[in-house]
Amino acid sequence: MDIRVERGDIAQQSADMIIVNLFEGVTSPGGGTGAVDAALDGAISQVINDGGCRGKPNEMTMIHTLGKLPSPRVLVAGLGKQEDFTLDKVRALAATAARYARRARCERIASITHGAGIAGLDPHDCAQAIAEGTVMGLYTFNRHKKPKEDDIEVQELVLVEFDQSRIAALQRGVHRGVVLGEAANAARDLSNEPGNVLTPTELAARAQALAADTGLECEVFDQPWMEEQGMGALLGVARGSDQPPKFIVLRYRGGGSSHLAYVGKGITFDTGGISIKPAAGMEEMKGDMSGGAAVIAAMGAIAKLKPKIDITAVIPATENMPGGRATKPGDVVRAMDGKSIEVINTDAEGRLILADALCYVQAAIDGGPDAIVDVATLTGAISIALGDVAMGAMTNDDALLGRLQRAAEEAGEKIWQLPMYEEYKDQIKSDVADMKNVGGRNAGSITAAFFLKEFVDDTPWVHIDMAGVDFYEKVKGVTVKGASGIPVRTLVHLAFILANEPLEA
């Protein structure tokens, strides 16, 4: 869809629907809402007085203009209490309003810039949040469904601003918001694809297409190369599948003085291997590459927004299947750095492929990376700890984690630190190898992080376990049913933070 900024009067827009807003408790609207109210001879005030519009968060009240305005309909979007209003609520409001407009069969909508008036938020940031929320809120995944003949999609959103001095900042905000929203949707597209479509080969092909479109460098390595590198942990997972594994490397060269590494888990379907999962819900394991999808999509956005930092991203991609050659519980595999691993549970495969990826990314960057962030749907235990609200984060460097938490806050995505006390490491000790790949039920997310920590040496590193936030069953704000697109926007914000640049510059 097209999102743009125009100077003008919201009341004079000829869109299918114009969108204004109202804080909870306000009885006499001002600003753009007040202008529309006046043009409607006080219709909005009358609805407020009648109790039909209270300004509650995400409350949507439609008023027919009956020829008094060029637009036939006005949508009054509730902002909630002014003291509680944030940019994250701007995103959610924009998403909810856009979906309302689609249900009302509107193709062209116009809106004031929510939050940039009496709320006192930065206009650039509000425009960015509106663009993000609109793009993400309207997302659907219908490519495998027969189109409905009467489907209507919102084609255009115009942000209308009366103050000429704000136009340039709003335009910059819209541009960045569209880039970030489309990147989140690109990750959703990958994660929503069924496993028979998005094989490791297809994931690599889509990464190559993204690189060609955005100017990233991309290399894809096959199994013989992995064997030469000694990636026994990754190959041990891949053994059970007829689909060949791929090792995807994306590079962004933005200059600057630091080099960041992103590592994303790319299990394109996870049966659990020999330690096979229960049948119920296994179809969702098509999304076990959501960490890899997030990294790929974030790199595309980074290439468009151009922070001054170098980034290398690696995505080890394979299926985890129970074939005749599959790794068995009790087998020992050896990672790229020579460390041996006793495989207790073949369903703890994500950490195995990440081990080789972490080894590789440190060896491939001259002087090593300045920071590593890995992203994975790694453990069911993280859902028990944090539910579907927040990602879990574990680290060997609190300063890096602090920057990641700031990035998540700016993106409107939630992340929470779990401890890395040395006592947890005892749980992954093995009697027959250097370590084992699971540490039991207790503190499962933390022991998984300790396993990964064995492969990062002293490099500042954060592990993001996103298994609780990768898929949703309900629509709310920017969240839609299916893949979430988390943490694409966090990864983009982190790149700018580590480059010491504001995203809006």
Catalytic residues, by residue number, are: 277, 351
User: Which of 485, 501, 20 shows the shortest CA–CA distance to 293?
Assistant: 485
User: Which of 500, 502, 492 shows the shortest CA–CA distance to 181?
Assistant: 492
Say if CB 116 and CB 123 are below 8 A apart.
yes
Helix (H) or strand (E) holding 416: strand 415-417
Distance CA 303, CA 490 (A): 15
Residues forming a β-bridge with 371:
260
Q: How far apart are the first and last CA of the chain?
A: 24
The amino acid that residue 490 corresponds to is T
- Exposed, middle or buried by CB within 10 Å (0-12, 13-18, 19+), for 46? middle
DSSP letter at 336 equals T
The amino acid that residue 107 corresponds to is E
- Exposed, middle or buried by CB within 10 Å (0-12, 13-18, 19+), for 4? middle
Please give the sequence-ordered ranges of beta strands (E in DSSP) within 81-142, or none if there are none: 108-111
Helices (H) and strands (E) in the chain — how many of each? Answer: 14, 20
Distance CA 190, CA 197 (A): 10
Q: Which residues are CB-neighbours of 315 under 8 A, at least 6 positions away?
A: 203, 207, 247, 248, 250, 263, 264, 265, 266, 289, 292, 295, 296, 357
Give residue 306's region: left, alpha or beta (phi > 0; psi -120 to 50): left
Structure-token match 């041990």, residue found: 236
CA separation (Å) from 438 to 12, 232, 295, 448? 63, 17, 25, 7
DSSP letter at 276 equals P
